[in-house]
Structure 1
Amino acid sequence: MDTDTDSVAEAIARDVQLMSPRIRASRALTDQLLDPEFVEVGASGRRWDREAMLSAMPEMQGADEDGPTYEPTGMTGTVLAPGLVHLTYETTIDGRRARRSSIWRKLDEASGWRMYYHQATPVPGE
């Protein structure tokens, strides 16, 4: 059985994968990391469902190997319940910062940890 530390580490590893240009550019790879009931509230305030995110991700910022990439800092996590982890952190991409929160859930061993919810809030210039 996973320990709390293992669960948080796995969620962090998968969240970092979702920031990788290689993953973002591939619908098939992104598909493996998003929960069937995935929802996101983006930094723009837009609400995304799973299908909209899978379709848009290859064209979004951070998907081009030669372009700006996400730089996460301060990633921490808490196990909310067995199979449910909440992560918080900040990212910088192309000079813009955002505070982020994601919830990862593990429905079974076969599918592993998948992002269930994500929210990004822009950090105003300081």
Structure 2
Amino acid sequence: MDDTEPRPPTEARLAHVLEALTAREPLFHRPEFGTTRADFERMTVPDFWEVGASGRCYGRAYVLDVLEERFRDPVAEEWETSGFHCRELAADVYLLTYTLVLDGRTTRRATVWQRDAAGGWQVAYHQGTVVAEPAGPETAAG
């Protein structure tokens, strides 16, 4: 992937945060962090929302409905992540960006994570932007 404005490296003091968040992405594709609606509710803040690769905005309830349906009959996915970068936005709030190739479609991803008082992680916002579509029939957004 050729960026015209490369990102600076993640600050060394954030290495542990980068490692923790990298292990949680791609968001909602890591079964080790849960596959049920209750798991995804715990993973997201109450006012979570996202902008899908389609450009449409989705609220938490809709996303939870889609995830619940997706994990009723899970399909094997092939994905690869790269180019992770973490930036602290405020105390215990971090922006994680990276590139995802999922089933041949390349997207740039941005997730705003916040650490709760117990040291756990929750997602406040997520966005996917299509960089390259796979050849062939149109694929679903996501």
TM-score, normalising length: structure 1: 0.79
Of the structure 1 ranges 26-35 and 48-57, higher mean CA displacement relative to structure 2 is found in: 26-35
Who wins on radius of gyration, i.e. which is larger?
Answer: 2
Contact 1:88 1:101 (8 Å CA) reproduced: yes
**In structure 1, distance between residues paired with 2:34 and 2:103:** 16
Give the equivalent residue in structure 2 for 1:6.
16
The answer to whether 1:121 aligns with 2:129 is yes
Secondary structure of the residue aligned to 2:17 is helix
Q: Unmatched 5+ residue regions in structure 2?
A: 1-12, 135-142
**Pairing 1:28–2:72 present:** no
Count of equivalent residues: 121
The question of whether the paired residues in 2 share the 8 Å contact of 1:42 and 1:120 is answered with yes
Does the 8 A contact of 2:100 with 2:106 survive in 1? yes
Larger RCO, structures 1/2 (Cα 8 Å, 6+ apart): 1
Q: Which residue of 1 aligns with 2:7?
A: none
Partner of residue 138, structure 2: none
Percent identity of equivalent pairs:
31
Matching residue's letter, 2:39: L
Change beyond 3 A, Cα 1:40–1:4? same
| Alignment match, 2:65 | 55
Distance 1:92 1:32 in 2: 26
Q: Distance in 2 between matches of 1:28 and 1:70?
A: 25
- The aligned counterpart of 1:80 is 89
Which structure 2 residues correspond to residues 97-108 of structure 1 after superposition, within 5 A?
Answer: 97-108=106-117
Distance 2:76 2:25 in 1: 19
Q: What is the Cα-based RMSD across aligned positions, in Å?
A: 2.6
